[in-house]
Amino acid sequence: MGWYSLCVLLTALASISIVSAQVTGSEPTECASPPIVANAAVSTTGETEGSTAVYVCSSGYEPSGSMEKVCRAGSWSASGPEPKCTQSKCPSPQRVSGGSYRSVTGSYTVGSLVTYTCYSGYKLAENLTNSITCQTDKTWTQPLPVCNRKDCGAVKEIEGGKKPSYTETTYNSRATFECIEGYNLYYNGVAVRTPTRSVGCGSSGSWGKLPECRPKDCGYPSKMSNAQRFTEGKHLFGQSVYYECNHGYEMIGNATITCKATGWTRKPSCVRAKCYDPPTVDNGSLSKLSRVNTYTSTNSYICHKGYDLIGPKTVSCQADGTWSQPPVCSIVNCRTPPQIHFGTHSWDLTTYNSYAAYACDEGYKLIGVSQVMCQSDGTWAQEPKCEIPPGSEKDPETAPQTANDGQQMASLTHSPALTGLAIACALFAVVTLLALMAIVYKMFFADKATKLFSHTSFKSGEDTVDSNI
């Protein structure tokens, strides 16, 4: 049965039900929807007399009062106090060493967030969060945050100095420095009068400014073309300067120069990065060749006939001396060859220069070529046609009708699709007839039947009926 037939049937049944309901009687007393309780869900067994409504508090809330109501005389009533859901609360959070906490919401109810802050010189332990949350079981999430003293790490040794002396490397620890013979101790550019100087591990997690043991000063090193220079403080004996070539340049020589007794060591140089011959592309060739293959140089490619270029047509010499990804020349694909009426076709491949073979059904003549080629533009050459030769048995103007023609017509009448359509139409006619009968009855006979059964002569058992009814 189709959707339309089903809709008509349901509409007719609904109309009959409405007529029946108007004749038969009244509805039972019902309660309205049960009242809403904040932070609770309600489920009912119905809305008629004696039905129950049960309230369940949401997660993180605790029930109080009567959580069940009953439909009585058109309203919902509870056997005790009105149901209520109040938010659960967690105890005060635990304190941590080296830090403090505060409530984001100002309370410790379920879902409340408490954040911990480490004191200056302390930091939150790795793999831990700085907050806890009050859970529905009135406990705080675990584990608690941990505040550890910041660690400044090993103390860096200074040129011309002895190994620093220290016992710990955490916040508030101190390290003592002393120069070797022949060097003088400086701090903040000022000579230190005592033989030692101590430095503390600060609240930021790093050691304070380290003192210096100054020997010979080589002076500021000169700049270098196409490079960046990185230096550390003053340029004293044993210190180094690091050079880094600009993007697209290669370094020749040592990137680091050092201050020696005779001055700075030999500086490096930066030359433009060079690429080797550009990569070859199968079924393609270079259409534009750069004279010099250095950084930012480009070369262009073109594909052979019957091939499509996939990707960018140019390659660039990159800063690391390699070429960017070259394109790919993919053979043209014509996809499935077109079909023809009253004929068949076959093929092995659908790519450029491939052929599709065509043949006509028996009794038809091939008009055109029997083999069609996939062209370089991705289309097939014009396909042939299959036509009925004039005067043949298949010519509808000259061929007589055969018994097979009658069989084809008979097969259409026995088609499952047509059979289903006939059944659907029959059902639609029946439903329509029932609906019309109900309407006619209501319009012409309903009032007369009521008068007939309520007439006084009928009630007294007489056989006569008023002709005016």
Give the per-residue pLDDT at 122: 94
Nearest of 303, 410, 319 to residue 352 by alpha carbon:
303
Q: How confident is the model at residue 424, as a pLDDT?
A: 67
Identify the H or E element spanning 439: helix 416-444
Pick the CATH number of 99-149 from 2.10.70.10, 1.10.1140.10, 1.10.3720.10, 3.40.50.300: 2.10.70.10
First to last CA, the chain: 44
Res 59: pLDDT: 83
Rounded CA-CA distance 239/264 in Å is 10
What's the pLDDT score for residue 361? 94
What pLDDT score was predicted for residue 444? 62
* Residue-level pLDDT at 445: 59
CA-wise closest residue to 317 among 342, 282, 289, 355: 289
Q: Return the CATH number of the domain spanning residue range 284-331.
A: 2.10.70.10
pLDDT reported for residue 235: 81
Amino acid letter, residue 103: S
Q: In CATH terms, is domain 40-87 a member of 2.10.70.10? A: yes
pLDDT given for residue 416 in this prediction: 43
* pLDDT tens digits for range 412-457: 333 444 445 557 667 877 878 887 877 766 666 555 544 433 433 3
CB of 267 within 8 A of CB of 254? no
d(CA 262, CA 143): 61
Q: Which fold has domain 227-272?
A: Complement Module; domain 1 (2.10.70)
Q: Is the peptide bond preceding residue 396 cis, with omega within 30 degrees of 0?
A: no
367 and 360 in contact (C-beta within 8 Å)? Answer: no
Instruction: Please give the Cα distance from 143 to 156 (Å, whole number).
Output: 36
Reported as a single tens digit per residue, the pLDDT across 36-73 is: 999 899 999 888 888 999 999 888 888 988 889 899 98
- Looking at residue 436, its pLDDT comes to 80
pLDDT at 119: 93
- Gyration radius of the chain's alpha carbons: 49
235, 213 contact by CB (below 8 A): no
Contact 367, 346 (CB under 8 A): no
Q: How far apart are CA 442 and CA 464, in angstroms?
A: 25
Give pLDDT, residue 344.
Answer: 94
Query: CB of 86 within 8 A of CB of 61?
Result: yes
Contacts 24+ apart (CB under 8 A), 218-227: 218/259, 218/260, 218/263, 218/264, 221/257, 221/264, 221/267, 222/267, 224/267, 224/268, 224/269, 224/270, 225/269, 225/270, 226/270, 226/271, 226/272, 227/251, 227/268, 227/270
CB 98 within 8 A of CB 75: no
Residue type, 40: A
What are the structural domain ranges in the chain? 40-87, 99-149, 227-272, 284-331, 343-387
Residue type, position 260, single letter: K
* pLDDT given for residue 440 in this prediction: 66
The 10 Å Cβ neighbour count of residue 305 is 9
Residue ranges of the chain whose pLDDT lies below 70: 1-28, 182, 261, 392-422, 424-425, 440-469
Q: What's the pLDDT score for residue 394?
A: 59
- State in words which class domain 343-387 has: mainly beta
Q: What is the number of other CB atoms lying within 10 angstroms of the CB of residue 337?
A: 21
